[in-house]
Amino acid sequence: MKKTNFYDIHEKYQAKLVDYAGFRMPIQYPAGILAEHKIVREACGIFDVTHMGEFFVSGADSLSFIQKITVNDASKLEIGDAQYSAMCYLDGGIVDDLLVYKLTDSDYMLVVNGSNIDKDFDWCKQNSKGFDIELTNQSDDYNLLAVQGPKSLEILNPLSDIDMAEIPFYKFKTGKLLDLDMIISRTGYTGELGFELYFKGDKETALKVLDSLLEAGKENNIALVGLGARDTLRMEKGYALYGNDINETTNPIEAGLGWITKTSKGSFNGFDVIKKVREEKPKRKLVGIVVEADRFIARQGHKIFADGKEIGLITSGNMSPSLNIPIGMGYVSSQYAVPDTRIEIERKGKFFPAIVKKMPLL
């Protein structure tokens, strides 16, 4: 397992560490997932997300290449824009969801999920033939911190030479923060005001940055947050997690990602299949779920029933710290995807009542 440059701080603050995406990563700190979740919703939390991957695309055909491999319309991007998108196989299955950053007219950064770095880069290389581009995987060169929560701007802005209040949602600027060159992006995976900080540097540099952020945010109750709270935060907002809610067997339309799938832009990988699914309507849909049974949490793989028959599967489930109820996400046959439809979740022969809800749940 790899260790990020922040590993010593995770140990210092007694994080519970797990193997994740090829790294030893913190799942939680001694305060626990519920407290960390609350910190992000009410103040500010810092996530080490260095496990994410960063690919760089440059050259005359950069835009044409990105238009081929992603479902969103990158031609709409201006310099300083970030765009949520996805890559698909030719059969419409999702390779990965990702962010596309436009750095210059011919330079882009693609940010992919950490568990998919090798697979994604191989897919990009396969699809780069015939394009005048340079494609590089610089994932090992970048540190990445997500600073998330309503107090994040108040904490970070005095530390930067740019006015971070002027960075709109899904925009970014390059500038200095703590006297280091960074890509400062108004993005995140929590649904809260927040920023993601991309910067190069060795272990000593990374640790100094994280220590400085913790010190700067002390009066605002800043705290380190692990992957456990990252999962509950994203689930409340209905954000899909690759490997759970989306994968190579799901297409963007049924996964609720039709809003980023721009068939009007012309052909891209999986175009014909995805266009057909859109026109004919998907047979199943990803929905939010609220469990109405006491002491039962739906988990990935649990079967969903309605009208006495199996209609789908749970893909994610946990206790919602904000709502104080068990919630989940799952695929159901399209006729049961209507909000407030009553369903049952099966575990070991027992059935637990639940209800379909429109996402986000919070």
Output the tens digit of pLDDT for each of the chain's 362 residues. 999 999 999 999 999 999 999 999 999 999 999 999 999 999 999 999 999 999 999 999 999 999 999 999 999 999 999 999 999 999 999 999 999 999 999 999 999 999 999 999 999 999 999 999 999 999 999 999 999 999 999 999 999 999 999 999 999 999 999 999 999 999 999 999 999 999 999 999 999 999 999 999 999 999 999 999 999 999 999 999 999 999 999 999 999 999 999 999 999 999 999 999 999 999 999 999 999 998 899 999 999 999 999 999 999 999 999 999 999 999 999 999 999 999 999 999 999 999 999 999 99
Give every CB contact of residue 349 below 8 A, 6+ residues apart in sequence.
Answer: none
Residue 237 and residue 231 in contact, taking contact as beta carbons nearer than 8 Å: no
Every domain range in the chain assigned CATH 2.40.30.110: 283-362
Q: What is the pTM of this model?
A: 0.97
Distance CA 311, CA 304 (A): 6
Every domain range in the chain assigned CATH 3.30.1360.120: 7-50+140-235
List, in sequence order, the alpha helices (H) in the chain.
Answer: 7-12, 33-42, 62-69, 117-127, 152-156, 203-216, 227-236, 271-280
Does 7-50+140-235 carry CATH code 3.30.1360.120? yes
CATH number of this structure's domain 283-362, picked from the four choices 1.10.10.10, 2.40.50.140, 1.10.760.10, 2.40.30.110: 2.40.30.110
Distance CA 244, CA 267 (A): 28
